[in-house]
């Protein structure tokens, strides 16, 4: 019988796609027969592109490039149903629900025939689609799965409350927790989780599968993603190699350059946001560890700024909005894993998770 | 291995001029004509593929066609042709090249590549190169430059990084009586630099003083090795330009920020006995005085003036330059009193008043130097004198000048004399007379004092122990463990050490710092507090530099419960106010030194920043949170850092008087502080990967000390 890793979480943005990429690679490395399954995909736009971006990424970088599954492998085998993020309540009536669940079940049966493991990427949260009966528990029931991996991303004692709440909820549906996986945990909280494991989690007999530290590198956007997010324009083509730069921090320069230095020195690989007319600040920033300059108000900088940025390969981006709006847009940016990062994902997942427990 | 003998540049047996030209006005023609006109007695080979004969000399298509050996070749061809010709010179066995041609590093892009290729040719053939992009070389035997006019021959060697500056200085020098043993234009310094020539000139019998104009020094280690030996042999004066704050701007430590970009040069020059000129005028003043005047045995001078005002101005200048007045013996004072008019002041500075005649000057000078025959004048402590002349009715400046020259050349021997003839028309003849007769004479007393000061500095240097004989103390330390800590820090992807790591490093080097441990959870903090006792708790994050600014420090943690709460508060504060994504390792629980209960505590800063050329620079001064504003600091090179250096460094600050004890306070444990300074010096010399180190504050107690807050940054 196929063993399942059903990844679920109480909170959205728990890193299920990230973990799926890690799980898939680990199973490849172990030479296991497996499949990846995301019952419900969330297309970015129902009209222009039906594909869920995470599914599309896995198809492209792993299925096609690593395990060489033919290009015509049906997308639906990975993600049979697509439901939008919002406005879905009216779309999914009882009929549709049945159709969807059946489609999920039949695809699942098809792809699990000859495999040992299946990685199921659950909905954004266990609450999601509960109104229309397409939530994780409903899907698990249809698939005959009675254990889930619970992913926790709280770097605070709230993690214990959420874990117990989820356990109680699952209990009421006769679903067990295969283990808790702490993901994207701030470094300072790791020791605390170990304390909590001993004092609290162990009491409930829930195994801790692993603790993955928040990786600034993996969860930081590239300059190219920033340009897209803010609708900006690169004005120094000569520094286009810097589009792949990682941005770990944002810093807004509004004070004088001497005062800004104090903050600039404290951060690495920052995107420095300032007005296009602030030559002094731009020059001070270019002297420090910056990944990009974002100049707001669509104001062209002084030639000297462009010259230095070109020399150092630092992209200068003109943002069409004011500084606050630019920053707000950036806060909404959810960076995704890049193709050149998947090995790092494997490294992390392999090192931090208890694979003896998982593959048992 | 490069040929270290570069004597062929000074005494070449034969010279090839690659790119020699018959057309007047072309550089190739000027250089060839300059060599011929300078009376060069060796062989000259013009090289030009298009000519058969230039200036009655047989011309060759290439150096390879010259039937005889060539010592040096001077290049005046376009930059892009240089490397091919250099290769030919290498094959020919030419020893040295003087490349006047431009079009190298200075133009960037292809020029940089061209220069790199030239350097590899130089290494391949063991070919020493002066330039490229230089004015040339003017020696006693030949003028291998395109300078319009060669300076006088003499005993000063002049080395300049800028060709234009060299021509300007050569022209300026025409107004001085002295001449040059060589004028060397360094250009881009692709191969040979100032240090190479200084090393040679230090043993050159024709050179008494070396003057340099430099914009940068390429090899700091070599400078430290060669210069101390060279400066023992003759005075070396360097005008170093290009003082920039760019380096300091990027510094993140207190030491780096306070040091500035120029401090390294200042320290290195002092350590190596190099005299630093701040202006071109200084450069020539120093050159003149070193060439013509003896170095006084002591800092003990007399001022003789015929006017009160200039006497006071000179006294002020002496004060500024820390020059000391000699004390006259009783017999000298009696003699002066007996011979000088009543209104004269017989004490140093001596005012022989406005109606002073040449005779009165003669009498006074001779008396202070103990030269008046037939009289016992007791102890003569005057080692030098500044004679001031203002044009009064009876003065006769030219006659005074003649008398001074007479006394100086016949009687003074090892004693120094300089003059200041103040005025214009009436004294110009006297001033010119002195100048031509090798007695430095300045328009105003300030410059005279400045030059005398330089002589005393030289005397102090010559009296000090040579650098090569000095050895920094060596303590028994746990170097291997420190290596291990650095390895782990790098493995963690960090460059800034955390406090519990710095605390262990200090322990390995025998420096006391308060007991400190890292807590990763509030519960751990409680346990550590119970173990350590009264504590101060500090955020531990490589990204948080200014802990106080983010509320990352809490003092007086007296109970376990306090420690729990402090942990939570500090971490929350750091997350709210610290930089985004700051990685928090936990909170350090550090033993709290209750220094307020101690008799006396002084906050000191001691730090190190790396100079890219000259290595670690140590800084000592007033510490605490106002360190950067007080700027009460002094610096020293960590290179051969001795107890004497540490002592001197402390004495150069204002906090020294507080450490000695004021208002009835007992003195602080200065010996213990010196011990820390020496141990830190050993640490930073042992580990060049330490780029910055700050202890602020280092608390100095009446007995002992404590290094409270330590920051160490290492190279990636």
Half-sphere exposure of A208 (CA within 13 A, CB side): 21
Mean pLDDT calculated for residue range B398-417:
91
User: Domain count of chain A?
Assistant: 2
Backbone angles phi, psi at B90, to 5 degrees: -60, -45
CATH number of the domain where residue B43 is located: 3.40.50.720
Instruction: Report the pLDDT value the prediction gives residue A46, as an integer from 0 to 100.
Output: 57
Q: Does residue B249 lie within any of the structural domains?
A: yes
Residue A55 buriedness (CB in 10 A; 0-12 / 13-18 / 19+): buried
User: Within a 10 A sphere around the Cβ of B160, how many other Cβ atoms?
Assistant: 26
CB distance B571–A186 less than 8 Å?
Answer: no
Mean pLDDT calculated for residue range B160-183:
87
Q: Quick one: A43 and A167 in the same domain?
A: yes
A16-29 vs A342-352: helix axis angle to the nearest 10? 80
Instruction: Report the pLDDT value the prediction gives residue B261, as an integer from 0 to 100.
Output: 62
B544: closest chain A residue by CA: A266
Chain B hits for A290, Cβ within 8 Å: none
B252: closest chain A residue by CA: A265
From the centroid of its chain, how far is CA A294?
24
Chain B hits for A188, Cβ within 8 Å: 520, 571, 583-586
A250: closest chain B residue by CA: B580
Buried b / exposed e across A143-155, counting CB within 10 Å, b at 16+? bebeebbbbbbbb
Tell me: the pLDDT tens digits for A331-340? 988 888 888 8
From A293-307, B92-106, B637-651, the region with the lowest mean pLDDT:
A293-307
Mean pLDDT calculated for residue range B303-317:
95
Chain B hits for A192, Cβ within 8 Å: 520-521
Does B73 have pLDDT greater than 50?
Answer: yes
For residue A69, the enclosing domain spans 3-218+336-359
SS3 at position B90 = helix
Tell me: the pLDDT tens digits for A213-254? 998 888 899 999 999 999 999 999 889 999 999 999 999 998
Q: Quick one: B457 and B499 in the same domain?
A: no
Torsion sign, CA atoms B371, B377, B381, B385: negative
Helices (H), chain A: 16-29, 53-58, 94-111, 136-143, 158-172, 187-199, 223-230, 257-264, 279-286, 303-312, 323-331, 342-352, 355-359
Nearest neighbour of B580 by CB, restricted to A188, A250, A287: A250
CB distance A263–B579 less than 8 Å?
Answer: yes
CB distance A265–B585 less than 8 Å?
Answer: no
Q: How far is A287 from chain B (nearest CA, A)?
A: 7
Does B553 have pLDDT greater than 80?
Answer: yes
What residues does B129 pair with on adjacent strands?
Answer: B97
The CA-CA-CA angle for residues B409, B412, B413, to 5°, reads 85
Q: Quick one: B458 and B525 in the same domain?
A: no
Does B248 have pLDDT greater than 60?
Answer: no
Chain A hits for B580, Cβ within 8 Å: 248-250, 267
Q: Quick one: A172 and A315 in the same domain?
A: no
Q: Quick one: A84 and A214 in the same domain?
A: yes
Q: Does residue B554 lie within any of the structural domains?
A: yes
Output the DSSP codes for B256-307. HHHH-SSHHHHHHHHHHTPEEESSHHHHHHHHHHHHHSPPPSSS-EEEEES-
Does B251 have pLDDT greater than 60?
Answer: no
Tell me: the pLDDT tens digits for B474-483? 999 999 999 9
Chain B residues within 8 angstroms (CB to CB) of chain A:
249-250, 252, 520-521, 523-524, 543-546, 571, 578-586
Instruction: Report the pLDDT value the prediction gives residue B74, as an integer from 0 to 100.
Output: 97
The rounded percent of chain A whose pLDDT value lies above 90 is 66
d(CA A83, CA A81): 7
- The confidence band for A174, taking pLDDT boundaries of 50, 70 and 90, is very high
Mean pLDDT calculated for residue range A126-152:
95
d(CA B639, CA A355): 54
Instruction: Report the pLDDT value the prediction gives residue B163, as an integer from 0 to 100.
Output: 86
Chain A hits for B523, Cβ within 8 Å: 195
Interface test with B, best of A251, A266, A291, A327 (most B CBs within 10 A): A266
The answer to whether the CB of A178 falls within 8 A of the CB of A206 is: no
Q: Quick one: A7 and A65 in the same domain?
A: yes
SS3 at position A160 = helix
d(CA A71, CA A350): 28
Q: Quick one: B151 and B239 in the same domain?
A: yes
User: Within a 10 A sphere around the Cβ of B622, how many other Cβ atoms?
Assistant: 22
CATH number of the domain where residue B674 is located: 3.30.470.20
Q: Which of B417, B435, B463 is the last residue of a domain?
A: B463
User: Within a 10 A sphere around the Cβ of B535, how many other Cβ atoms?
Assistant: 27
The answer to whether the CB of B198 falls within 8 A of the CB of B235 is: no
Tokens of A169: 């909820």
For chain B, say whether A79 makes contact (Cβ under 8 Å): no
Mean pLDDT of chain B: 91
Calculate the alpha carbon distances from A299 to A105, A317, B228 in Å.
55, 10, 56
Does B247 have pLDDT greater than 50?
Answer: no
Tell me: the pLDDT tens digits for B576-594? 999 888 889 999 999 888 7
Tell me: the pLDDT tens digits for B4-17? 789 999 999 999 99
For chain B, say whether A283 makes contact (Cβ under 8 Å): no
Interface test with A, best of B548, B581, B583, B585 (most A CBs within 10 A): B581
From the centroid of its chain, how far is CA B439?
27
Q: Quick one: A278 and A323 in the same domain?
A: yes
The rounded percent of chain B whose pLDDT value lies above 70 is 97
The rounded percent of chain B whose pLDDT value lies above 90 is 73
CB distance A191–B520 less than 8 Å?
Answer: yes
d(CA B685, CA A168): 62
For residue B544, the enclosing domain spans 479-595
Between B201 and A84, the more confident residue is: B201
Helices (H), B509-642: 522-532, 560-577, 627-630
Q: Quick one: A96 and A137 in the same domain?
A: yes
Nearest neighbour of B581 by CB, restricted to A192, A249, A288: A249
From the centroid of its chain, how far is CA B437?
31
Interface test with B, best of A188, A190, A330 (most B CBs within 10 A): A188
Instruction: Report the pLDDT value the prediction gives residue B245, as an integer from 0 to 100.
Output: 46
Q: Does residue B141 lie within any of the structural domains?
A: no
Q: Quick one: B301 and B419 in the same domain?
A: yes
β-strands B416-421, B441-442 pairing: parallel
Q: Which of B277, B292, B307 is the last residue of a domain?
A: B292
For chain B, say whether A250 makes contact (Cβ under 8 Å): yes
Mean pLDDT calculated for residue range B616-622:
95
Q: Quick one: B484 and B584 in the same domain?
A: yes
d(CA A221, CA B715): 27
d(CA B86, CA B90): 6
Nearest to B120 by CA among B97, B92, B93, B87: B87
Nearest to B558 by CA among B598, B539, B593, B530: B530
Q: Quick one: B304 and B315 in the same domain?
A: yes
Q: Quick one: A294 and A354 in the same domain?
A: no
Chain B hits for A187, Cβ within 8 Å: 583-585
Nearest neighbour of B521 by CB, restricted to A192, A263, A265: A192
Between A344 and B628, the more confident residue is: A344
Q: Quick one: B406 and B361 in the same domain?
A: yes
d(CA B30, CA B46): 12
A286: closest chain B residue by CA: B250
Q: Quick one: B176 and B251 in the same domain?
A: yes
């Amino acid at each position: 019988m196929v063993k399942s890793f059903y990844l679920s979480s109480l909170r959205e943005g728990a890193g299920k796609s990230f973990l799926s990429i890690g799980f898939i690679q680990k199973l490849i490395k172990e030479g296991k027969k497996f499949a990846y399954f995301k019952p419900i995909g969330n297309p970015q736009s129902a009209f222009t592109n039906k594909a869920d971006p995470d599914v599309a990424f896995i198809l492209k970088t792993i299925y096609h490039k690593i395990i060489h599954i033919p290009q015509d492998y049906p997308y639906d085998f990975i993600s049979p149903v697509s439901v939008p993020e919002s406005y879905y309540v009216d779309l999914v009536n009882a009929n549709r629900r049945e159709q969807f669940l059946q489609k999920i079940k039949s695809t699942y049966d098809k792809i699990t025939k000859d495999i040992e493991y299946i990685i199921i990427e659950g909905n954004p949260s266990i609450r999601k689609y509960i109104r229309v009966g397409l939530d994780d528990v409903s899907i698990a029931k249809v698939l005959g799965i009675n254990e889930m991996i619970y992913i926790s991303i709280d770097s605070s004692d709230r993690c214990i409350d959420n874990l117990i709440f989820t356990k109680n909820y699952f209990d009421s549906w006769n679903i067990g927790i295969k283990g808790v996986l702490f993901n994207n945990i701030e470094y300072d909280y790791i020791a605390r989780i170990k304390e909590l494991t001993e004092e609290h989690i162990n009491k409930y007999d829930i195994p801790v599968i692993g603790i993955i530290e928040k990786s600034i590198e993996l969860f930081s956007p590239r300059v190219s993603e920033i340009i897209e997010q803010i609708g900006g324009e690169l004005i120094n083509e000569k520094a286009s190699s810097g589009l792949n730069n990682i941005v770990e921090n944002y810093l807004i320069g509004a004070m004088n350059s001497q005062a800004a230095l104090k903050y600039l020195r404290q951060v690495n690989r920052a995107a420095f946001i300032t007005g296009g007319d602030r030559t002094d600040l731009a020059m001070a920033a270019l002297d420090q560890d910056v990944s990009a300059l974002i100049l707001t108000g669509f104001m062209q900088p002084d030639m000297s700024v462009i010259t230095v940025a070109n020399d150092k390969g630092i992209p200068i981006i003109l943002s069409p909005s004011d500084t606050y709006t630019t920053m707000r847009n950036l806060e909404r940016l959810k960076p995704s894993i890049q193709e050149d990062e998947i090995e790092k994902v494997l490294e992390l997942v392999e090192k931090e998770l208890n694979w003896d427990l998982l593959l048992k | 291995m490069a040929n270290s003998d570069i004597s062929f540049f000074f005494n070449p047996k034969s010279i090839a001029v690659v790119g020699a030209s018959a057309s007047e006005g072309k550089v190739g023609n000027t250089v060839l004509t300059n060599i011929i006109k300078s009376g060069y007695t060796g062989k000259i080979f013009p090289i030009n593929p298009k000519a058969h004969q230039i200036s009655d000399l047989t011309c060759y298509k290439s150096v390879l066609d010259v039937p005889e050996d060539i010592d040096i070749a001077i290049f005046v061809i376009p930059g892009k042709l240089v490397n091919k010709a250099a290769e030919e010179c290498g094959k020919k066995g030419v020893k040295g090249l003087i490349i006047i041609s431009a079009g190298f590093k200075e133009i960037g892009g292809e020029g940089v590549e061209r220069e790199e290729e030239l350097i590899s040719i130089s290494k391949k053939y063991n070919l020493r190169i002066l330039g490229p992009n230089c004015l040339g070389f003017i020696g006693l035997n030949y003028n291998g430059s395109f300078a319009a006019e060669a300076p006088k021959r003499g005993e000063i060697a002049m080395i300049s990084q800028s060709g234009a500056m060299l021509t300007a200085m050569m022209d300026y020098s025409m107004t001085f009586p002295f001449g040059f043993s060589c004028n060397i234009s360094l250009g881009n310094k692709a191969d040979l630099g100032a240090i190479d020539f200084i090393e040679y000139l230090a043993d050159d019998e024709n050179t008494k003083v070396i003057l340099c104009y430099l914009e940068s020094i390429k090899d700091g280690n070599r400078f430290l090795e060669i210069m101390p030996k060279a400066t023992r042999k003759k005075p070396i004066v360097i005008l170093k330009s290009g003082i920039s704050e760019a380096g300091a701007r990027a510094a993140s430590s207190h030491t780096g920020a306070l040091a500035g970009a120029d401090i390294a040069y200042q320290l290195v020059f002092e350590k190596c006995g190099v005299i630093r000129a701040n202006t071109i005028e200084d450069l020539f003043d120093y050159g003149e005085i070193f060439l013509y005047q003896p170095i006084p045995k002591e800092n003990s001078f007399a001022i003789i003036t015929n006017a009160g005002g200039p006497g006071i101005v000179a006294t002020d200048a002496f004060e500024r330059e820390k020059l000391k007045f000699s004390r006259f013996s009783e017999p000298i004072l009696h003699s002066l009193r007996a011979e000088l008019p009543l209104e004269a002041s017989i004490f140093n500075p001596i005012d022989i008043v406005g109606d002073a005649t040449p005779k009165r000057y003669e009498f006074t000078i001779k008396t202070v130097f103990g030269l008046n025959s037939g009289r016992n004048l007791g102890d003569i402590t005057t080692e030098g004198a500044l004679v001031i002349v203002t044009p009064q009715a009876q003065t006769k400046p030219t006659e005074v000048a003649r008398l001074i020259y007479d006394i100086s050349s016949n009687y003074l021997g090892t004693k120094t004399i300089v003059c200041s003839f103040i005025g214009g028309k009436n004294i110009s003849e006297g001033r010119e007379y002195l100048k031509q007769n090798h007695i430095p004479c300045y328009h105003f007393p300030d410059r005279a004092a400045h030059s005398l000061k330089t002589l005393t500095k030289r005397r102090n240097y010559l009296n000090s122990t040579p650098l090569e004989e000095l050895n920094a103390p060596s303590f028994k330390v746990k170097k291997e463990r420190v290596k291990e800590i650095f390895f782990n820090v790098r493995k963690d992807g960090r460059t800034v050490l955390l406090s519990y790591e710095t605390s262990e490093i200090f322990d390995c080097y025998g420096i006391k710092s308060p007991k400190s441990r890292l807590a990763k959870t509030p519960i751990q903090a409680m346990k550590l507090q119970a173990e350590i006792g009264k504590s101060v708790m500090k955020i531990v994050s490589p990204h948080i530099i200014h802990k106080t600014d983010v509320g990352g420090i809490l003092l007086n943690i007296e109970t376990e419960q306090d420690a729990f709460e402090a942990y939570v508060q500090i971490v929350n504060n750091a997350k709210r106010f610290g930089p985004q994504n700051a990685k928090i390792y936990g909170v350090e629980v550090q033993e709290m030194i209750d220094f307020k209960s101690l008799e006396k505590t002084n906050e000191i800063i001691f730090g190190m920043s790396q100079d890219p050329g000259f290595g670690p620079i140590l800084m000592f001064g007033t510490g605490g949170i106002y360190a950067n504003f007080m700027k009460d600091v002094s610096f020293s090179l960590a290179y051969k850092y001795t107890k004497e250096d540490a002592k001197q460094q402390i004495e150069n600050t204002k906090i020294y008087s507080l450490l000695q004890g004021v208002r009835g306070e007992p003195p602080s444990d200065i010996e213990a502080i010196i011990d820390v300074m020496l141990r830190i010096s050993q640490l930073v010399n042992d580990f060049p990967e330490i780029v910055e180190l700050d202890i602020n504050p280092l608390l100095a107690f009446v007995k002992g000390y404590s290094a409270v807050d330590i920051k160490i940054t290492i190279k990636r």
